[in-house]
A and B are shown apart, each in its own frame.
Chain A
Amino acid sequence: MSLFLVTLVFLLLLPTLNLLFSWNSVDTDIWQHFVKTILSELVINTTLLLLGVGIGTFLLGVSLAWLVVMIEFPGRKLFSWLLLLPFAMPAYVLAFVVLGAFDYGGAFQQFTQVLGLPYMDIREGVLGPALILTLVFYPYVYLLARTAFANQSITMIESARSLGYSSWGVFWKVSLPLARPAIVAGISLALMETLADFGTVALFNYNTLTLAIYSAWEDFRSLATAAQLATILMLIALLTFSVEKLSRGRRGYVQTSRLDTPPFNPSKRYKILAFGFVLLVLLAVLLLPTMQLSVWAYSVITEEWDERYWQWFGNTLLLSVIAVLITIVVALLLNSLEFSRRLPKPLMSLMGVARMGYALPGVVLAMGILGAMAWLNQWLSTQWFIGGLFGLLLAYSVRFLAVAYGPIQSRFQTIKPSIIEAARGLGAGPKRLVWEIYLPLLKAGLMTAAVLVFLDVSKELPATYILRPFGWDTLAIRIFELSAEALYERAAVPSLLLLFMGVVGLLILRRLNLFK
C-alpha cells in the first residue's frame, strides 16, 4: 500500500520536479533579453486578464447560481442545468466563432459598415479575451456556488429575513459569506485555466506569459527557460490559493442542509428580469455560437465528413472516460488520506504543489512528461513509457487533479464525525460505512468532479496533441488542425460533434438522476 502511494505521489510530482530541475542551468542571455523587452508587458497583460476573468466569472457565476437556487422564476430548473453546457465549448472554438462574426469580413462588421459606423477592433485590449474566457469558464464558479447555495439552511435564511433583510441583504450578509470557499475555489480553477490558456489569447494576439514560454522554446530553443517561466506560472497559482487559505483561517463552513424550493418568490417583473438575464447569457454563449457553427458545418459537410470521424469521436470519448475514472480515484484516495490525516504533512503539501499542474500550459506539462518518460525509459532500460497511453493519461491526471480534488474535498468537509459515530453506534461495519455512509455522502462531489474532468479532457488539446499514441487522434486535434489553417467552416463539424458529446453526456447523467 505504501509503496503504491509513494509511486503515485512520485508519478504525479514527476512533471513538476522535471520543471524545477530546469533551474539547474539558467540561460542569462535569454532572460536578460526578455526582461529588457517583453516581460513587463506580459506580466501586466497577464495580471489584467486574470483580473478580468476573475471579476467576470465571479459576477456571472455567482449571480446565475444565486438566481437558479434562491429565486423562483419560469424555467428555473431547466436553466439551472442548461447553464452548465457552455463548459462543453472549448474556449478556442468560441474565440474563432466570435472573431468570425466580429472581425473584418464578419457579419457584424458588414452590418456596421452599412450603417456607416467606424470599424471597431474587438481584438484590442483585454476586453475581448477576458470576455471569451469568462463565458467559457464561469461554469466553474456557477457549479460550485450553486452547490454551496443549495446546501444553505432555510432556517438561517428565514431568520435573516425575519430580522428585516431583503433578498439582497440575505445574499450579501448570509449566502455570499457562507459560500465563499466554494466561490473562491471556482474562481481559482477559472484563473488557473486562464493562466494555462494559449489558444484563445493567440487568436486575439493578446500576449500573456504563455507567449514568453513559447518564445523561449520555439524561438530560442531553450526548453529550460520555458520550464523556468512555467514554474513562475505555478507560483502565481500557488499564491492565489494560499491567499484564500490564509484569509479563511481555521474557520470551517460545514453545511449539510438542502434547499428544495427557492426561498424567494418575487414579483412578476423581477421574474421576467431574471428569466431575461439567464436567457441572454445562454444566447451569447450557447445558442448563437452553435447556430454559427451549424451554418458553417452545413456548408461543408459533404466535403469534410468521412468515416474517420467515428474513430475520432470514439477516441475522444474513451480517453475522457478513462481519464475521469483515474482522476476521480486518485482524487478520492488523496482526499481520504488528507481527511484521515494519514499522510505526513510534508507529503500533503507536496500534493498541493502537484495540483498546481492545472495552471501549467498543456504544452509545458507535456514536455515535462516527455522528458520524465525519456528519463524513466533510460533508467529502467525499457521503451515502454513513450508512445503509449501512459504518458498521456499521466498528463491528464496531473493537469486535472485539481479539478477533481476540489468538489470531492468540499463534500468530505460536510461529513461530520458525529454521523460516522452514530452509524458505528448502530452497528455498521467498515464495509457498510463505506458503501452506505461515505460514498452516498460523497456522491454529489464525485459526480461534479466527473463532469468537470470529462468535459475538460474531451476538449484538451496541447497535451493530447503531443503525447497521443499513433491512431489516437481526437476531435480537438481535428478542430485545431483545420482552424490553424483558418478553415473555420470545416472546423465547425468536429466542434459541433464535441459539443454534442458533452451535452449528451450531461443529459445521460441527468436522466440517471446522478447530476442535475
Chain B
Amino acid sequence: MNLLKAFAALKQLRFFSLIISFSLAMPLVAISAVQGVQAAESDLVVYSSRKEHLLKPLTDAYTKLTGVKITLYTGKEGALIERLKAEGAETQADVLMLADAGNLGYAAQEGLFQPLNSTLIEKNIPANLRDGAGLWTALSIRARTLIYNTNKLIPSDLKGYADLADPKWKNELCLRTSKKVYNKSLVASLIAHHGEEKAEQIVKGWVNNLAMKPQAKDSQVMQAIIGGGCDVGIVNSYYFGGLVKQQPDVPLKLFWPDQDTTGTHINVSGAGVIKHADQVQKAKQFIEWLSDGQAQEIYAEWNNEYPANPTIKPSELVASWGEFKADSLSLNEVVKYQQQAVKLMQRVGYR
C-alpha cells in the first residue's frame, strides 16, 4: 500500500521531468529555428572536405574581392556526400569541394552535381582534369611520389612504384596505410596499367618489403625515413613541401618515379555546383574564380600543390623539385579500379 503511495510521488517526479523537458524544448526550438539564419545571411554555402584552415584564405580573398559572403561547412568526403543525399532538394549547399577524383566521381555518379557549362573553366583547366560530362573540375594537382633518405640512397638507386616490390628493398620501405584514399588511387592506377595480377604482385612485394607496420599519415612516413627506420617511402608531394618549409635542411629528397615509363601518379582536388543549389550563378562564378589566376596562386603557395591551371606557375619551392612526367592515365580509369584496388590490398594483407 505504502509502495503505491511512493509511486504516486514518482508520478510527481515524472511531472517534474516533464516540466524541465518542456522548458528545455522551448529554447531548443528557438535555437534550431536560428540555424537557417547564418546560411541566409551568406550568399554562398560551400561544403568542403578540404580542411577549414586550408580553404579559409581562399574564401576570405573571394569575399574581399567580390563582397560575396561564404559559409564554409567542412566534413569528411563520405559524410558530406551522405548529407547532401539526405538533404536532397532542400539542401542549402551550392558548391561541393572534394579531394580525390574517386570521391568527385562518386558524387557525380550519385547525381549531386549539375553541369558547370563554363567556357572560362574549360579554358583554364585541361580536359583530362575535368569530368567527361562537365560535372566537376579539378582545381589543384598533387603527385604521389617517392621520398628517400639522402644519407642512404642516391637517385640512381630508385626507379618507380613497381621497383619497390623488388626484394632488394626488404625492410627498407615505409608506406602509409592502405585505408587512405591516395593509396587506393595509386594501386588503382597500377591495376589500370599492369592488370590486376601484376598489380597484386607489386603490392604483395611492397608488403614483404615493409620495414614496419604501415603509418597512419604521410608525415609519419617521412619521420620514419629521416629517423633511419627505412630508406624510401611513398608520399604526396605537398606533405614533403610542408616539411621542407619547416626544416629546410632535412635529409630527404623527392624522386619522380617511373619517368621512363608511365609517369608519376597524380590526383586532384576539385569542385562542382550542387544540383539543387539555390545560387547556381554565384556558385559557378566562385568555381570559375578558383580556376583562375589569383586563386590558383593561393592554392600553389599555401598548400604546395600544383595549380590545375597550366598558365599558373607552382610556388618557388615546388618548382625547385623540377619538371616531371605525370601519369596521363585518365582519372576516370583510376575511379573505375578503386574498389578492385581496395579488395586487392585487403587480400594481400596491406593494412
- How many angstroms between the C-alpha atoms of A487 and B302 in the bound complex? 14
Bound CA–CA A444/B199 (angstroms): 61
Q: Say yes or no: is A55 at the interface (Cβ < 8 Å to chain B).
A: no
Q: Are B39 and A214 in contact (CB under 8 A)?
A: no
B39 partner residues in chain A, CB cutoff 8 A: 470
B64-120 residues at the A interface, CB under 8 angstroms: 71, 73-79, 82-83, 85-88, 90, 92, 106
- Of the candidates B18, B20, B52, B86, which one forms a contact with A371 in the assembled complex, judged by CB atoms under 8 Å apart? B86
Instruction: Please name all residues of chain B whose beta carbon is closer than 8 Å to the beta carbon of A330 when the two chains form the complex.
Output: 21
Contact B35 A104 (CB under 8 A): no
Q: Is the CB of A1 within 8 A of B79?
A: no
A103 to B45, Cβ gap below 8 A? no
Question: Would you call A339 and B10 a contact (CB within 8 A)?
Answer: yes
- The stretch from B134-142, B214-222, B253-261 touching chain A is B214-222
A206-231 interface bits toward B, Cβ cutoff 8 Å, 1 = contact, 0 = none: 01000100110111110100000000
- Whether, in the assembled complex, A274 has its beta carbon less than 8 Å from a beta carbon of chain B, the answer is no
- B82 lies within 8 A of A207 (CB): no
A135 within 8 Å of B (CB atoms): no
B79 touches A481 (CB 8 A): no
Q: Report if A166 contacts B (CB, 8 A).
A: no
Contact A205 B36 (CB under 8 A): no
Q: How far is the CA of A223 from the CA of B351 in the complex (A)?
A: 21
Min C-beta distance of A207 to chain B, whole Å: 6
Which residue of B10, B51, B83, B351 is within 8 Å of A481 (Cβ)? B51
B13: contacting residue among A105, A390, A434, A490, CB under 8 A: A434
Are B35 and A388 within 8 A (Cβ)? yes
Cα distance A420–B6 when bound, in Å? Answer: 6
The answer to whether A421 touches B75 (Cβ under 8 A) is no
Main secondary structure of the interface of A (DSSP, over half): helix
- CB–CB A336/B216 < 8 A: no
A-facing mask of B1-39, CB < 8 A → 1, else 0?
011011111111110111011001000100111011011
> B127: CB under 8 A from chain A?
no
Bound complex: CA of A8 vs CA of B9, how far in Å?
A: 22
A116 CB-CB contact with B under 8 Å: no
A326 to B29, CA, bound (A): 13
Measured between beta carbons, the chain A residues less than 8 angstroms from B106 are 221
Q: Mark B165-201, 1 if CB is under 8 A from A, else 0.
A: 0000000000001010100100000000000000000
Task: Give Cα distance in the complex from A393 to B31, angstroms.
Answer: 12
Q: Does B224 contact A (CB under 8 A)?
A: yes
**Residue of B at shortest CB range from A471?**
B38
**Contact partner of B71 among A36, A113, A215, A470, CB < 8 A?**
A470
Please state if A219 and B342 are interface contacts (CB–CB under 8 Å).
yes
A366 to B80, CA, bound (A): 12
Taking CB atoms, residues of chain A closer than 8 Å to B90 are: 377, 383, 386
Q: Is B245 an interface position by the 8 A CB rule?
A: no
Chain B residues within an 8 Å CB radius of A431 = 12
Closest Cβ of chain B: how far from A390's Cβ, in Å?
5
Give bound CA distance, A516 to B54, whole Å. 43
Residue A424 lies at the interface, judged by CB distance under 8 Å to chain B: yes
Interface residue from A214, A215, A340 paired with B7 (Cβ < 8 Å): A340
Closest chain B CB from A49 CB (angstroms): 15
Check A105/B223 contact, CB under 8 A, given A33-B346, A329-B24, A373-B86: yes
The segment from A119-127, A142-150, A167-175 that touches chain B is A119-127
Closest chain-A Cβ to B268's Cβ sits at a distance in Å of 18
Pair B227/A469 contact, Cβ less than 8 Å? no
Complex: A204 Cα to B53 Cα, angstroms: 25
Given A37-B346, A119-B229, CB of A470 within 8 Å of CB of B45: yes
Chain A's closest residue to B17 (CB) is A333
Q: Which of B85, B214, B219 contacts A486 (CB 8 A)?
A: B219
A262 contacts chain B at the CB level, 8 A cutoff: no
Contacts of A487 in B (CB 8 A): 53
Q: Does B213 contact A (CB under 8 A)?
A: yes
Write out the residue numbers on chain B whose beta carbons fall within 8 Å of the beta carbon of A220.
339, 342
Asked if A89 is at the interface (CB within 8 A of a chain B CB), the reply is no
Q: Does A109 belong to the interface (CB within 8 Å)?
A: yes
Contact A326 B79, beta carbon cutoff 8 Å: no
- Taking CB atoms, residues of chain A closer than 8 Å to B5 are 420-421, 424
For residue A313, CB closer than 8 A to chain B, the reply is no
Asked if A503 is at the interface (CB within 8 A of a chain B CB), the reply is no
**At the interface, yes or no: A370 with Cβ under 8 Å from chain B?**
yes
Are B79 and A366 touching (Cβ within 8 A)? yes
- Quote the shortest CB–CB distance from B20 to chain A (angstroms): 5
CB distance from A365 to the nearest CB of B (A): 12
The answer to whether A374 touches B88, judged by C-beta atoms less than 8 angstroms apart, is yes
Q: Please give, as numbers and ranges, the residues of chain A lying within 8 Å of B11 by CB-CB distance.
A: 340, 430
The complex places the Cα of A219 from the Cα of B223 at a distance, in Å, of 28
**Chain B residues near A486 (CB, 8 Å)?**
217-220, 239
The answer to whether A223 and B82 touch across the interface, beta carbons within 8 angstroms, is yes
Looking at B3, B11, B32, the one whose CB has the most chain A CB atoms below 10 A away is: B32
B-chain residues with CB within 8 Å of residue A154 when the two chains form the complex:
none
Residue of A nearest to B71 (CB): A470
The complex places the Cα of A119 from the Cα of B39 at a distance, in Å, of: 52
Contacts of A346 in B (CB 8 A): none
When the two chains form their complex, are residues B86 and A386 in contact, meaning their CB atoms are under 8 A apart? yes
Q: Nearest chain B CB to A119's CB is how many angstroms away?
A: 6
Please tell me if the beta carbons of B32 and A390 are within 8 angstroms of each other in the complex: yes
* CB pairs A–B below 8 angstroms (24 shown): A1-B14, A4-B21, A99-B220, A103-B224, A104-B223, A104-B227, A105-B227, A113-B227, A119-B229, A121-B213, A123-B212, A205-B215, A205-B351, A221-B106, A322-B28, A336-B17, A374-B85, A390-B32, A421-B6, A424-B5, A469-B35, A470-B92, A471-B38, A473-B74
Q: Other than the known A217-B78, A223-B82, what 11 A-B pairs have Cβ atoms closer than 8 Å?
A: A1-B14, A103-B223, A103-B224, A109-B227, A207-B351, A326-B24, A333-B14, A363-B79, A386-B90, A466-B83, A487-B53
**5 shortest A-B CB distances, which residue pairs?**
A104-B227, A486-B219, A433-B9, A105-B223, A374-B86
Chain B residues within 8 Å of A, Cβ to Cβ? 2-3, 5-14, 16-18, 20-21, 24, 28, 31-33, 35-36, 38-39, 45, 51-54, 71, 73-79, 82-83, 85-88, 90, 92, 106, 177, 179, 181, 184, 212-220, 223-224, 226-229, 239, 338-339, 342-343, 346-347, 351
Which residue numbers of A lie inside 8 Å of B, CB to CB? 1, 4, 33, 36-38, 99, 103-105, 109, 113, 119, 121, 123-124, 202-205, 207, 211, 214-215, 217-221, 223, 322, 325-326, 329-330, 332-333, 336-337, 339-340, 342, 363, 366-367, 370-371, 373-374, 377, 383-384, 386-390, 393, 417, 420-421, 424, 430-431, 433-434, 437-438, 465-466, 469-471, 473, 477-478, 481-482, 484-487, 490
